Every structure is written in structure tokens, then in C-alpha cells.
Structure 1
């Protein structure tokens, strides 16, 4: 673009030059009037300073023109002595011409100023725009001008750009040659604006991909083309990334559709796609063991297999000794090596026949926090970057999710197959229900209910629950069961259901929540226990009958013993007092046994009696029997379980001998321990510790004579005590300290 000419330096010389011209014009005019015409009419001489004044001072030159006209008239008047009309006409024309020239000069100056401002604005836009701009000669292609953006884009400043040949504007590769430059310029001049992509070789030798808009422009009547050049490298990278993302999504979609493919087919497809998306030449995939110590090579890409000539290929690579391949595991992140030839501590070299490696990248594949695989690619033409890491990582994670999903699906199918075989062959009833009703019922359920599987599943929730008998369906037990199931508990219960024929049957069931076909459901397993329930009811009825019979037996034995006691009482009336006492002792013994049978048929447990309650009743009877001692002798009864807690329950085999022993010893104390109405206390205590019992009967009376051996005495009562102790297989001891105390210890052998 041409530079503006600066006239400011001539401004200081305008007035002197003009004055010299006016002086010269006056001299010439004077000479004319004195000597006559020399070259031209005298008036013409004043046109020179007048026109120059008009050019330099515009409308202000009017004053100079008037001044020149006056000078001209005065010169004629002084020198020739006359002033003609022609002279006035010439002076007027001088003034008119000067004014016209001044006005035109001002207009031209205004146009020049506007042009200068326009050029300044153009230059500002030209230099400050973000796109590179280059003006070229249309015929030669030479660069005439360029802006700062072009310098930043290419590295060439304005002067260097003017010296560039057409061949330097492109890379020289096909479609980017000097001939292509000329062809684009020709089309712009002949056909109109051109828009195309171009590779520019920068000053530093690098290549920039640009979008060029080429347009014909006219400058000073010459043919020019202006190129607007925009760096589209980043845009192309973004477009490439988007295309790769789209291709990766297509690859992942294809992966997800490989539902029937095996593991090898899935991994081979993913590996080939990984090589393609990263624009690599080779690729590999290895799986990691559970403790992340060994990589097992799973597959190589087809191109790698075609190039590899290794004979004995290793399949397992311990991480501690593996070189570059193991680095992604050791660092637990992707590793890029764009200059493989550079030595490194983690490089172990390649075996003979291995594919030459120039660049390498591998990424770990995670399942949660555990590395499960490593995928690697190599020998890309350009350097690997984060975009390649992203593409390979996302693709391989998608592959692993598919593998996991297929494994889970296979396990689910195997589990469902096992469940179906078990459910279809088991005699147990198995049903699955959700909010829609019954969704599964096995053959045992069909057999138990009388409905087919299709009928059961078509019932819906209302009819399904209607199978439950009304008396159980509305019971509190069912409500409690449902509440516990809602809380996530597996419950065990029995329920009564109605079959298709209306028959009521009992089921022993267990129910729990589970996920069935991605929905909450209840799994119920049950056994038909109707026969068992009927047998239980018969057994309970039989037991009730036997219980009533046993109560009747105890009652009759007690009544018979009472009859015997009454007969002895009647018989004793015919004898003297000594014999009557013997009869009364026998009555007491019979009464102690009858009291046990009375307690048994009154008890809810027909096999055992509350021994503490029995002792209270027995001793109370004996106190009444010996009424003369009733007011002076006190009883202390202490019958408790281990540690003094709870009651002692004794069966009839232990209760009768213990009752007879207490009867004999308490009767003996009432008769002999407190002579002459002496007051005192009789104590009966029993303790149980596990299966061991300790029975103590004593008094604080006068005590037995020191020379009396209770085992050899002629007393029937004490002999009976010793005999009953042998029946209990216990031990007996007697103490004469503070009265008489018998201690009997025995074990419950049952």
C-alpha cells in the first residue's frame, strides 16, 4: 500500500516564495510598461502568483488577487499614464480565476484530508484486526503489504513478507504449491472471492492450517488481491475432537449392541477402535490380576500382529520387572512417551523381531479403585496428547463396563436357571408377589391351591390375598407379619388359605423382600402342613383327655386316702389313748400323701407341685392336729430355688417321700420338743442348687437325749425317716445344737 506524501515541511516556504513571485511579476509588468511587450501580455504575469496563492491559501487568495489587480492598475497609471477598460476587465478575470482556483484547492484539500483519514482508518483496521491480512500483486503474486496479525501467524514481518516468493507461502505438499497459489489468485480476479483452506509454512519451519478468503481489490488503478488469513488450527482440533467423540460414541454404541459376542470379540473390537481413534499404528490390551502384581497380555491389534516377528511371545508380565507397559500401573495414571528413543529408567527395550516403537501411550482401566486392565497404543504420526488419553480411557472404560455387565448378566442367568430348576422341582410352595399381584408360582403352588400358574398370575393383588381365609386375613398376626416384612425382616409364620375347591389348608411359610425384574417383591416359600396341623389337633385333644383322666385319678386317690384316714379315725375310738395315738400318726401320714394328690389335680402342671405351698398346707394341718401347741409354737417355712429366687417344683416321686419325712419330723417336734407348754419355733427349709436339694427340719426345743441314736431307736417315725432317705438315695445328718436339726441332701436323678 503506497505511503502518504508529507507536505508539512514546505509550509514554512510558502509566504517567501509567493512574495518572490509577486515581486518578479511587478518587475516584469513594469518592464512591459517601459519597454513594451517582450514575451506575452503583461497581465498574464500576475496569474502565476495568483494561481499559486489560490492553490496554497484557498479562498484567502482573493485578497492577494485584489492586491495584484490594484498593483497592475497602478503600474499602468504611473508608467503609461492611462487606464483602459480592458485593463479593468483583465483585473476582474484575475480575481475570478484566483477565487475559482482557491475554492477548487480547498475542495481538493478536503478530499485529500478525507482520503488521508480513510487511509489512516484502513491502516488501523488493517494492522489491528485479529486475522492476518496480505495484499498481493495479482500478476506476480508478490506480497505488497501485510499486517501484524500476519506477522504473528507466520513469523515474517512486513519487510520479510515483501521478499517472500510464492513457493514460500505454502508447504510445497500437494494442494499447497506455488501453482495452487497462482490458480487461487486467478480465480479471485476472474471469478470472484475465493474461500479455501491452506497450509502455511511458518518462519520457524512449523505448519499452520489456515482458512484464506481471497478477494480482488483496486488500488491506484492496479490489480491487487487481498487475502484474509485466519488460523483454524484450534478449530480443526476442536472439530477433530468432536469427530473423535462422535466416533467413540458410535463405537460404544456398537459395543453395547454386542450382546451375543464373547469376551475376545468385545476386546478385539474395542482395541481396534482405540487404535483408530488415536490414529495409532499398533495397540495392545492386558488384564491385571486381583492383587495388581501381574499383567496378562490378552490381545494385540491386527496391525501389530502383522508387523511383529517375535517367536516366543511372553504373556505374563510381573509389574516389578515390566518396563514401559507397567508404568501406567505403577503411577496409576496414563503415561505418554512421545520420544521413545530417549533413554529412561523404566525402559527395558524390546525383544528381537518386536515392532519398532517411536511413540507410546498406555492407560490404566479402573473398576472402582482397582486397576483391572491396561490398554496401550503406539506409533502415531503426531505426538500423543490429552485428547488421545481421553478417547482411549473413555473407550476402554466403556468396554470394561460392558464386560462387567455381560458377566453380571451371565451370573444372573445362571442364578435364575438354578432358581427355576430348584423352584420347579422342589415340593415346597414358592411364589413371588409385587404390588401388581403374583408374578411367579411354581408347580407346588399350583398343586396346593388347585389353580394353574396362569390363573394365579392373572388374579391381581386383591384376588391373590382373597385366597387367605377371612379369619386369618383380618387377624392381628397377619398385620404384624406385613409390618415386619415392610421393615425388611424375613418372617416365619403359619397361615390358612382357601383352595379353588373351597377347602381350607394350613401353610408354614417364610417371607422376605427381594428385587425381582427391577421392582420390589416378596418371596414366599411354604410347606403344606395341613396334615400336621390335623395331627396336632388330635394330639392336643388326646392330651386333654389324658389330663382330665389324670386329674380324676389324683382326685380319686386323694378321696380314697381320705376314706382310709376316716376309717382309721373311727377305728381308733374303740382303743385306749395309746393305741389311738398310733392310729392318729397313721392318719397324719395318709393325710400328707393325700395332700400331694390334692395339690397335683389342682395344679395346671399335673406332673409337679409347688413344694413351698405344699409344706405350708401340710404344717398348718399338723399344727391344727396338735391343737394344744397351736398358741405357743411358731412355724418358719423357707422353701426357695437357687440364690433364694423362685419356687421349687417337685415331681410326685420326690414330693411324697419329702412330705412324709417333714410329716414325721414336725409331728415328733410337736409332741416332744416343747414339753409343758414351752414356746418355740419349728423350721422347715429347702434349697435347690441345680439338681441338688437340701432339706432341713429342726426345732429350738429341749432336744433329743444325748444317748439316743435315731437310727436304732424303736420309734417307727424315725425309722420311716431313715427308710425314706434311702429311697431318695440321699444323706442324712442330725445336730443337737440349740434343739434338734435334721439335714437331708439328695439329687434329682431325672
Structure 2
């Protein structure tokens, strides 16, 4: 209720609306009762002598002039879709009589109204002005009270609702649902709150309804009363939130799916899109825009089992496709909710094709280019714009991940090709080194000069260390590093085997297993080969037996390699740093190349230790 002073009322307003003179209206308070929050005292400004042709608002409202207990009331109706104001029956008056026609505190005979009558009139006004539907039914289910909002639900005037039952106003299944909830309120004797649905025109609307038993003065139940509020917007918003949540959940499932290939990933994504839209079947086609060609990528499970088309194709040219190709031709999503209805765009499908009832096809874009088309079909309900949006958003992310997986697959293929090539290279290098070893051995056998024979033998030992390395690389799955335990153990066995006739030798290997990069393991192999060859040739001269220890360990990023024998010991000259002795000079050079330090102990044989950073 809003109030304002009616200090300068027009004669037209006073006489036409309230049925009193302008003079009499002066000093009265103006009160406007309305369900529209925008109404204020100035709402009477649009009034004119032709009140019935004046569009005021789309809500019922009441206008009062008040002075003490005297009230002059104009009860206005609701505008029609054409904008013409219609007055409820019984409120229209001639210009001379006005809309109210009398003091609101007196009846037609001039008798004062009782307080109960005033309260009843007030309650009727409140009910009529409510934006919620308010109604009462007798025990037979006939409407006894129905305000304007209630009548609007049935698209009928209120007087045409009164006296009718739900069975006469709505479809049978809806009428039964209404009657059941009426009966629930009556039988329980308590307030019942529930959500009811009703088709209004071509759309389904939802209402939050509170129903209770209607009792007479004695307390006996004579019917039911209720109030209903339209919550369609809320229900739709909640449904949209739920669908968005479901889409995000399915997107998370897709992104976390442990697919090994892009094909497996797209198959899973299609299954999720079908579930998201509550479809029965679906497909994904890749599209080559420069060639105008579709290539089948994925069909949903069960489709090919149900399809009896002879020799189905997996490639289609754009100009030979029907309505499903329009997604590319028109560069937009296509929805058909009645596939049986005539459509000039549809070319039909071959005999044995899975029957279609409803269908939607969505193009997938990447940088403005169509790269794929997703089709879904046979949802129980109609496809709507939300389905299109959900699938578009879903497949946009899916396609990006698919491209990433395809790139990963390509990188994996390239790496496999590289590894295969490296294996072939290492194999050829190893074979070439074996050829060199054979040539060196043949050359040494043909030589008479002992110094030349020993020089060729030393060279053979150095080549052998590299041959072992390439043999290990050829058999390894990794070419950047190698297990030092595997490599050194084989290298020691290879070199010792070259000197079978020398002495009864005990070889001990204490080699920890750690990886070493190829850049360091290659010079290390030559270095150890040099030390072992030197020990086998000179350490045990004049003896029948001896022992050799080869050890390797790693601690705090530093590797330590030791070669020790219990032979005659290395002479002082030449030694590390001297100008003589090619073998030791080579060892020093290799240690420097590895960034390591070399130490030699001649007590009780020879012990050479190398430390270098890993």
C-alpha cells in the first residue's frame, strides 16, 4: 500500500474513477494497492476520461481515496495482450456514477458495513491482487475460489473457472495428478508442499504448490485450498546448472581417461557425448575441408550391429551428403526433431540404415576451419539449443586434446624411428669394428717384429673396448646412457679372454650398478681396457698365477673406478706426467677428457684409481 496526497485531483479523475466531485476529493489520501513494485501515487497520472482504453500496467491493482473511515475505491482490472484495460464485472460505472459508485464504508442501501464485511472485502482484494495463484475447491474438486493469477494458468477468465473441475480444464493425466494431491491434503489434514507441472500453451511450466484442507466453522473439512507460485525459471535454472555440472564431470572423465591413442580417446568422448544428451547412437566424422571429404572416425557401440547396409562406406564427398552434411555447408549445427517429416534437404538413407527419429549434427571448428562433425540421434525428448551448446563446448575441448594426443603419437613414432636408426648405426659400427679387429689380428700374425706385434695388440685391445660398447648400445633401449655394471663386466671378460695362455688368473668385479652417459662411458672403456691390457701383459711376468680387481662405485655425484693387480708393480719411470709410455699418457688424456683425477699406488702391485663427476 502506497499513499500520497490528492491535493490537485482532476475533475475527470475524481468523477470517472471514484464517482465523487473534485471538491469532495480534495484532502483525501490517495492509496494505490498493486502487485507491481513500480506503482506509486503518481500511477493515476495516465487516467483519462476514456479509462477503458488506457493501458496502465499488466498487473491488477486497487486505488483508494481515504478520509477517516470513508473510502472511495476503484478496483481496476488487468490489461489484455492488446493493451486495453478491462474492468471486472460489477466495477464499471458510467461517468456520472464513477467506478465505485458509493462510499466504500456503506452498502447500496446506505447501511454501514460491519468490520467483518470490511475485512472480507480487504481479503478479497488481497487475493485478487496476488501474483500467486490462489484457489479453493469443494470436496467434488470444483473450483469455488480462483483469483486472476489462477485463471491465467488456464488462459480463461475467473468466472469460467469457478464451478469447474480440473478434469474440465487440463489434460486427464494432469487432472488426476492435481486431484491426487488435493486428496492427500484432505486425507492428511495437514499442509502439503509439492511441485506440480502443467503444459501452458506449448511449454511446460512448474509450480510450487501448498495445499491444505478447507474447514468450515465447525472444523469439518469441506474441500481444499491452495496457493501456487510459478517457479519455472528456477526449475530451468537448476536444470541448467545440473547439466553444466554433468558436462564438467564428463569433461573431467574425458581428460582423465587413460587413452593410449587418439582413436581410443575419441571413441570414449563420443560415448560421453551420447550420455550427456541422452541420445541412443552417435558418430564422429573427420572432415578434410580442402578436399571436401568426410572420413568416418567413430561409431557408437551397437550401431554397426544394427546396421544392415551392404558395403557401408567410410568416406563421403560433401556434395553427396544429405541433411547431415548441412552442418558443413551452412557452418552451423542442424537439429531435426521429426525425422519423418518431409524435408527437401534430406536425401534419405539406404536400406538397412539404423532408423532415425530425432537427429542433431554439430560442426567442430579449429581456427575457423571445420575439422570434424559430431552426429547424435534418437533422444527420447526433442533436442534443444542447450544440447547443441553442451556438445559444442565438449567437443571443442575434446578436439584440442585429440590433436595433442596425435602430436604425441607422431613424436613417439619419430622417436621409435630414431631408435631403430640408431640401433642400425650401432650394429653397423660394431660389425665394422669386428672387421678391424680381424684385420689387426691378421696383421699381427704376419709381423716378425715383436714391437710391431705388441703395438698391433694394444690397438686391438682399444678397438675391442669400443666394440663392446657398441654391442651394448645395439642391445639397449636407451642410447643416451648405459648401465656401467653391464658394460664393464662384459668388457673385463672380453679383454681377459684375449690372454688365455698367460697365468691362472683370478678376476674379481665389484661394480655397482649405475647409469653413465655415453660421452663418459666411451673414454672410460678405453681407459680400463688400456689398464687391463697392461696388467695382463706385464704384471705377472714370471708367475703362474695372479689376481685382478675391477671396482666401480658412485657417491654424491662422483664416480670412482679402480683397477688393481697383485703383480710386480708399475715402474716409477715412465709415469703420469712423464714424456714416455704411450699407454699411461693415453690413460692420463682420457681421465682429463672426463674431467677426472687419476692416482697410482705401486705398493703390493699396481692400483690405479680414477675419480670423475657424473
Could you tell me the TM-score, scaled by structure 1's length? 0.41
Structure number with higher helix proportion: 1
